[in-house]
Amino acid sequence: MSGETVLVARSGGVTRLTLNRPDKLNAFTLAMHAELRAGLEAANADPQCRVVVLTGAGRAFSAGQDLAEVGGPTDTSIPDAGSRLEKAYNPLIKLIAALEKPVIAAVNGIAAGAGANVALACDLVYAARSASFLQAFARIGLIPDAGGTWVLPRLVGPARARGLALLAEPLSAEKAETWGLIWKCVDDDKLEAEVSAVAAKLATAPTYGLALAKRALAQSSTNTLAKQLDLERDLQRLAAASPDAREGIAAFLEKRAPKFTGSKA
Ligand code: LHQ
């Protein structure tokens, strides 16, 4: 069900979630957080859903926290910033990371503040050539949140992470791709088609195996090689026991295209 601030559309194994406050550049309110979490949880629980696309309505992906909701001309401090993170952003980032299907961010325009870091929490980030990524926090005296301080150095290295966080200048989609911050920058008029094509491909992929691969990659950043090898052993055991792995190997040997169901067992 679509809400007011997040539109939900399901088609052919793809669940599309659209942040929908275009007049405020899809800035996050508590209502939007609740609707987005509900949409992601429903997608995770829905066996028909094999891939999630997250995008924004209008000219932006998201401008991050709605600053009018946390402060105002008469109350310019943000006393509850920590609890806002604990209650809204941190669960959202963890939910995307733990989602048992691929999540694609289709960054249609500027992604600023926590909006940038929500996009970067997704598994594959496609951005329109005119889009940009802005760690806006330093402009208003805050620090990168929504996982920014974790993901930035891992994706682009410490020097570039410090530049992005301390200078708070927009990074073009093209540069974001060159730096390895995102998967792909595409021409504006091709974004929709390209994301739809990759979503359609993932909607017929071995979903359970992808979820296990996602889990292994997420854990690699804190594991030693020896621990990671143990993890690969354990997760590969699970993957190999799935119907999709049996189908994949059978299809290869029979020289035909595999037909994956995405299921665990
Ligand atoms: C907005 C916003 C916005 C409200 C545009 N809020 N209205 C977590 C926990 C707790 C507390 C604090 O924060 C966090 C995490 C965070 O995300 S902090 C960082 C929050 N985000 C920002 O600081 C970015 C603020 N926005 C901007 O700097 C600009 O809007 C950008 C550079 C994104 C786009 O600039 P323009 O293209 O020039 O658009 P605009 O500024 O004219 O915005 C259009 C409208 O959207 C405007 O409303 P209006 O009614 O005047 O037309 C803006 O007020 C509204 N808007 N971002 N975050």
Tens digit of pLDDT per residue, the chain (265 long)?
A: 678 999 999 999 999 999 999 999 999 999 999 999 999 999 999 999 999 999 999 999 999 999 999 876 665 566 689 999 999 999 999 999 999 999 999 999 999 999 999 999 999 999 999 999 999 999 999 999 999 999 999 999 999 999 999 999 999 999 999 999 999 999 999 999 999 999 999 999 999 999 999 999 999 989 999 999 999 999 999 999 999 999 999 999 999 999 999 998 8
Best residue among 5, 23, 24, 69 to mutate for probing ligand 1, ranked by most atoms within 8 Å of CB: 24
Ligand 1 pocket residue status of 124, Cβ below 6 Å: no
Give the closest residue (by CA) to ligand 1 atom 27: 63
Ligand 1 pocket residue status of 137, Cβ below 6 Å: yes
Residue 30 CA to ligand 1 center (angstroms) comes to: 15
Q: pTM here?
A: 0.97
Which residues, 6+ apart, have CB-to-CB distance to 60 below 8 Å?
A: 22, 25, 26, 108, 109, 110, 111, 112, 115
